[in-house]
């Protein structure tokens, strides 16, 4: 294939070692291996409390026992609504050992959003943080999901830690819930994990926004995530490193660039449930953090914290910003003030964040490229006819490789549209490749909004807005935001009888009530008519041009 075309796979001239052979092993195998090799090494640190690999292996065995005793069998789905915490890690590996499929979802979701994911996934058991139990209980009762296990995050904490006020309340096991601490006090006998075929058996449904307005569950196999683990070798992560994990364990980066890589390499992960710049700098300094993967907003928050100069961040040697485009001025300021280069990452849920990669070679910084490095995959950029375009020409990013998900759960039409029989996945992301192989993102073919690293489907937001009695029509777009990258703006046509009676603030408040905070419109503008095509589709381009 011509080098002049927008096609890329691993190239030895990049100056990095190739990805090693991808292990064909169940993901729980990495934990078992580290528990044998490094039983007393700290696996995770949460609110200053340390949990070793041996303890993590033992406690997840107990969760697996609990699940099997409650009727969970291989292939069944178990949902989690938990922040980053030690209990979440224990639950994750317990679900894997039981042969089940984890369905993690955002702790910010509201009742209707929770209902959709639980019902569509067919989840049988739910683990949730205790303060959200009043939100999930009516839905769990309606869908007959039992048991619901509640987690009190302070159960795994030390008095020295600064706990966010929202998580700092006293423990109260609600009626109708099972207490997580009781679950792990159960059977202490080692659990024999269920046999897994890594390439065929699923480990996770990871829900991602879809253009139809309903999230799609990307079906991810054990082998998909094994590819992401192997990909970590490219940036030289070692067992002596200390990760700080801000990306949540309901986001692909929380696994592909966090937990799974940590366990695969046998290093220590410092878990962060909620971003606070001062607390995060204290954790970096206190535990000598060396690796940081975070959305650009986190780096902006750290640099602008009033106490920034008081903390020693010199232990950090590798920093990667991903989940949204990284502004070059941010890269420059971070390098000047912290001393490490802020790499610009690109990845997708359906690629397990492993394509095209996070590599900007040190010796290639003179090029202004966004990202380079299809290390475990192939990348091509195609036109509407699906022909590969010449370099410099904008087209759609298409990926192929071992990290590509197996399709969308219960969505054969969407699966057929985006996944080909010969292994390619059409991302809907548009951009171009320059002569040096760097890839530049320019726009989204599928109109998704990316705010603070979260994908938001405009149609989903519109669907919820239509639930307001005053809304006649709605059109939602992303608008530039210096901090979040993009933010959600809603254009609303009011019904005649509500004009002058309902305000923009009323619509914003309704959105906050019905949707997760990151999805809810931050800006509302009333207009007389939503621009549409002849077939009735919202002309988002026209709205963005306003």
CA 476 to CA 538: how far, in whole Å? 9
pLDDT in tens, 304-338: 898 999 999 999 998 988 776 677 778 888 999 99
Band (pLDDT 50/70/90 cuts) for residue 368 is: very low
What is the structure's pLDDT at 411? 94
Q: Are residues 484 and 383 in the same domain?
A: no
Report in angstroms the alpha-carbon separations of 106 from 173, 194, 206, 445: 22, 27, 10, 25
Q: Are residues 163 and 119 in the same domain?
A: yes
Do the Cβ atoms of 353 and 253 come closer than 8 Å?
yes
Examine the fold and report which residue of 170, 195, 220 is the final residue of a domain before the chain moves on.
195
Q: Which tens digits make up the pLDDT trace of 131-170?
A: 999 999 999 999 999 999 999 999 999 999 989 888 988 8
Q: Is residue 534 scored above 60 in pLDDT? A: no
pLDDT band at residue 64 using 50, 70 and 90 as cut-offs: very high
Last residue of a domain, one of 421, 443, 465: 443
CATH of the domain at 110: 3.40.50.980
Q: 74 with 99, same domain?
A: yes
What number of other Cβ atoms are within 10 A of residue 303's Cβ?
15
Confidence of residue 362 (pLDDT cuts 50, 70, 90): very low
Which pLDDT score, from 0 to 100, does residue 358 have?
47
| Per-residue pLDDT tens over the stretch 107-126 | 989 999 999 999 999 999 99
- 396 and 482 co-located in one domain: no
Res. 359: pLDDT tops 50: no
Regarding whether 156 and 99 lie in a shared domain, the answer is: yes
Highest mean pLDDT: which range of 34-38, 189-193, 525-529, 542-546: 34-38
Question: Are residues 138 and 63 both part of a single domain?
Answer: yes
Mean pLDDT to the nearest integer, 294-307: 87
pLDDT at 242: 97
Please state, in angstroms and as integers, the Cα–Cα distance from residue 173 to each residue in 131, 408, 430, following that order.
Answer: 10, 36, 48
pLDDT at 466: 83
Q: Which of 298, 280, 288, 302 is nearest to 241 (CA)?
A: 288
- Is the pLDDT at 210 greater than 90, yes or no? no
Do 520 and 387 share a structural domain?
no
Assess if residue 227 is contained within a domain.
no
Per-position DSSP letters for 400-443, written without gaps between them = ESTT----BTT-HHHHHHHB-TTSEEEEEEEEEE-TTS-EEEEE
Using the 3D structure, point to which of 195, 218, 250 is the last residue of a domain.
195
Q: State how many domains the chain has.
A: 3
Please tell me the predicted confidence (pLDDT) of residue 370.
Answer: 46
Q: Do residues 180 and 139 both lie within one domain?
A: yes
**Same domain as 146, residue 109:** yes
The residue segments making up the domain with residue 535 are 449-545
Which pLDDT score is estimated for 453? Answer: 73
pLDDT tens digits, residue range 68-92? 999 999 999 999 999 999 999 999 9
Query: Residue 391: inside a domain, yes or no?
Result: yes
CB 231 within 8 A of CB 300: no
User: Do residues 326 and 280 lie in contact, with contact meaning Cβ atoms separated by under 8 Å?
Assistant: no
Question: Across the beta sheet with 49-52, what order do the strands follow?
Answer: 49-52, 42-46, 268-271, 242-245, 291-294, 318-321, 342-344
Residue 234 in any domain: the answer is no
Question: pTM of the prediction?
Answer: 0.85
Contact yes or no for 526/494 (Cβ under 8 A) = yes
Residue indicated by tokens 């992960």? 269
> Does some domain include residue 300?
no
Are 413 and 540 in a shared domain? no
pLDDT given at position 464: 86
Confidence of residue 512 (pLDDT cuts 50, 70, 90): very high
Asked if 409 and 539 sit in the same domain, the reply is: no
Q: Residue 467 is part of a domain; what is its CATH number?
A: 3.30.300.30
The confidence score (pLDDT) of residue 369 equals 42
* pLDDT tens for each residue of 235-269: 778 899 999 999 999 999 899 989 999 999 999 99
* Dist. CA 503–CA 459, nearest whole Å: 22
pLDDT exceeds 70 at position 355: no
* CA pseudo-torsion sign 142, 143, 146, 150: negative
Q: What is the rounded average pLDDT of the residues 189-196?
A: 93
């Amino acid at each position: 294939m011509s080098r002049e075309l927008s096609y890329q796979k691993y190239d030895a001239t990049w100056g990095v070692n190739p990805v090693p052979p991808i292990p064909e092993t169940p993901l729980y195998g990495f934990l078992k291996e580290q528990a044998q090799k490094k039983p007393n090494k700290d696996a995770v640190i949460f609110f200053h409390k340390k949990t070793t690999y041996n303890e993590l292996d033992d406690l997840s065995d107990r969760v697996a026992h609990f699940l099997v005793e409650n009727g969970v069998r291989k292939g069944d789905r178990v949902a989690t609504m938990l922040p980053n915490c030690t209990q979440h890690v224990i639950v994750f590996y317990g679900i894997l050992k039981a042969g089940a499929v984890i369905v993690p979802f955002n702790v910010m979701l509201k009742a209707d959003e929770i209902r959709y994911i639980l019902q569509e996934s067919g989840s049988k058991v739910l683990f949730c943080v205790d303060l959200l139990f009043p939100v999930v209980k009516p839905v769990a009762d309606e869908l007959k999901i039992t048991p619901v296990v509640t987690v009190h995050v302070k159960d795994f904490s030390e008095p020295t830690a600064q706990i966010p006020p929202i998580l700092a309340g006293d423990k109260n096991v609600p009626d109708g819930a099972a207490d997580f601490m009781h679950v792990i006090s159960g059977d202490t006998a080692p659990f024999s994990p269920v046999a897994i075929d890594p390439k065929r058996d699923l480990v996770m449904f990871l829900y991602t926004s879809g253009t139809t307005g309903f999230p799609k569950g990307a079906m991810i196999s054990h082998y998909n995530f094994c590819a992401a683990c192997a990909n970590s070798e490219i940036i030289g992560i070692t067992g002596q490193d200390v990760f700080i994990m801000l990306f949540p364990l309901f986001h692909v980066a929380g696994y592909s660039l966090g937990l799974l890589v940590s366990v695969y390499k046998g290093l220590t992960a410092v878990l962060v449930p909620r971003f606070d710049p001062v607390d995060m700098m204290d954790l970096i300094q206190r535990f000598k953090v060396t690796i940081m993967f975070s959305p650009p907003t986190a780096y902006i928050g750290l640099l602008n914290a009033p106490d920034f100069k008081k903390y020693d961040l010199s232990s950090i040697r590798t920093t990667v910003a991903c989940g949204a485009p990284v502004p070059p001025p941010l890269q420059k300021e971070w390098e000047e003030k912290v001393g490490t280069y802020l790499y610009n990452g690109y990845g997708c849920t359906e690629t397990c964040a492993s394509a095209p990669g996070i590599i900007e070679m040190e010796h290639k910084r003179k090029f202004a490229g966004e990202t380079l490095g299809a290390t475990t995959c192939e990348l091509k950029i195609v036109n509407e006819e699906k022909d590969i375009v010449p370099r410099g020409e904008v087209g759609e990013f298409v990926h192929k490789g071992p990290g590509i998900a197996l399709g969308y759960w219960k969505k054969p039409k969407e699966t057929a549209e985006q996944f080909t029989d010969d292994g390619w996945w059409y991302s809907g992301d548009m951009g171009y490749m320059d002569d040096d192989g760097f890839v530049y993102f320019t726009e989204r073919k599928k109109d998704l909004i990316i705010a603070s690293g979260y994908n938001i489907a405009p149609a989903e937001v519109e669907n919820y807005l239509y639930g307001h009695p005053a809304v006649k029509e709605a059109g939602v777009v992303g608008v530039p935001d210096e901090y979040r990258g993009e933010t959600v703006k809603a254009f609303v046509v009011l019904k005649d009888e509500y004009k002058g009676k309902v305000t923009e603030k009323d619509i914003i408040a309704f959105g906050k009530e019905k949707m997760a905070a990151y999805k809810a419109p931050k800006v509302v503008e009333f207009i007389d008519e939503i621009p549409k095509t002849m077939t009735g589709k919202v002309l988002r381009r026209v709205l963005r041009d306003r």
